[in-house]
Chains A and B, each alone.
Chain A
Amino acid sequence: MKSRIPVVLLACGSFNPITNMHLRLFEVARDHLHQTGRYQVIGGIISPVNDNYGKKDLVAARHRVAMARLALQTSDWIQVDPWESEQVQWTETVKVLRHHHSELLRSLPWKEGLDQGKVDSPGPAAVPELKLLCGADVLKTFQTPNLWKDKHIQEIVEKFGLVCVDRAGHDPKGYILGSPILQRYQDNIHLAREPVQNEISATYIRRALGQGQSVKYLLPDAVIAYIKEHDLYTSPGEE
């Protein structure tokens, strides 16, 4: 009997702020991979982007990391990793994947749940795979000229793999068909369906906060408390 391939999911993004929808991505992706019968998700990593990414309204990385940490307090399998945010400059996603993959290989006691037989001599099946987790909107950005290097896209889908969660208004199958690279490696692109449409964008959250409106139940209470305590997102165009 074939043992399942252990998988760690990595999500890169602004997390500005982290929302229940971000957290759902992990849950939906995990369920999907388990459903295939081929994978065992053993961990999740949230990697908030570096401040030097230069995105509008991005609050300081230390806040975004702290909020993610608070959001994940009650999760027993997802963690936040500040490595990307602590680099001197913005780091391409493929490099973040490479970094976390080598970290993963270095700390191989992640063998819980694997077949006993594989422990002594880790064959290819026992080595955890690191997959990039994203929403369908990110898959679409592969098409944006000059945003991603072609060779990076290739490395991401060939060497690592993608788990892409549905998002309303997007057509992930169409994006794959429209790109030769994605088509070639489509077996390594997993399209997960989120049955509960949940469009909690961080943009909406920031706007609501700026207008003094409630965001309760859209993100964890602990994150809302942190936002209030540190006066984040109090006005549109927050630096």
Chain B
Amino acid sequence: MENSEKTEVVLLACGSFNPITNMHLRLFELAKDYMNGTGKYEVIKGIISPVGDAYKKKGLISAHHRVIMAELAAKNSKWLEVDTWESLQQDWIETATVLRHHQEKLEASSCDQQQDSPVLERPGRKRKWAEQRQDFSQKKSLEQTKTKGVPKVKLLCGADLLESFGVPNLWKGEDIAKIVGDYGLICITRAGNDAQKFIYESDVLWKHQNNIHLVNEWITNDISSTKIRRALRRGQSIRYLVPDLVQEYIEKHSLYSSESEERNVGVILAPLQRKTAEADT
């Protein structure tokens, strides 16, 4: 029985995507090359999951537009797609929950495919061996599909998200543990040393360091959405920093302005609000 099967991986990126930029898209490409390059994984899909409006981040425009822009950006990709589940929720959803949602979804569709598992039919094998195994195979196929056959969801992010684990009250300790323990993190960073230091200084990250993949981004690609929005307010060009279709959409709908940047000013970010609410009860 061959055990050299690669683990199939689905990369999930959560974020504001306000707007999505070429840098976001690069994260996926870098992560895929890295994971596939280890020889242990095969990246089969990338999911862009824009955050819901209830996140209440300053300058966050409506999820409706952010989703469309992400879809326009992913249009020319064979493996990237946009998922709207998170953005459609009424309340803000913790990242660990989004990960769980997608992992469960993968497990559900994997169970459906189990019927066609090739384990049950082995014409090339020696007859005797096949007969012996037949008894096991019926039962085992279920487990085998679960352990090897189900793709694993991993959180894709930049170093800023990794380091945000250190921001007080932004993340629940148990969520961080779930993210790195149950799922895994692929973090694209220019400052590999800083990221390693950060992992070293955190007990929970250190414990699951094998599940945290640091990928070096050799070229500085500082296309932050904040800078894009600023450039737009100043009438400066954002061409070649975001996909053409996204740039056209932004222009057509005049999406970003000083007014839009004032949204949610004075409002507490959802995760911080939740932490305060829980502390009070």
Contacts and interface: CB of A to CB of B under 8 A. Distances in A.
B237 A31 contact: yes
Given A214-B29, A216-B25, A216-B29, A196 B223 contact: yes
A214 B35 CA distance: 13
Nearest to A74: B244
A145 B223 CA distance: 36
A199 to B, nearest CB: 4
A20 B220 contact: no
Nearest to A213: B33
Nearest to B76: A221
B167 interface: no
Contacts of A74: 244
Interface string A14-28: 000000110110011
A221 B76 CA distance: 8
B209 interface: no
Given A195-B227, A218-B26, A23 B219 contact: no
Which range holds the interface residue count of chain A?
20 to 34
Contact of B22 (A20, A28, A31, A213): A20
B29 A199 contact: no
Nearest to B34: A213
Interface in B24-67: 25-26, 29-30, 32-33
A197 B236 CA distance: 15
A105 interface: no
Interface in B238-264: 239-241, 243-244
Nearest to A22: B240
Given A20-B240, A196-B241, A218-B26, A168 B76 contact: no
Interface of A: 20-21, 23-24, 27-28, 30-31, 74-75, 168, 195-201, 204, 213-214, 216-218, 221
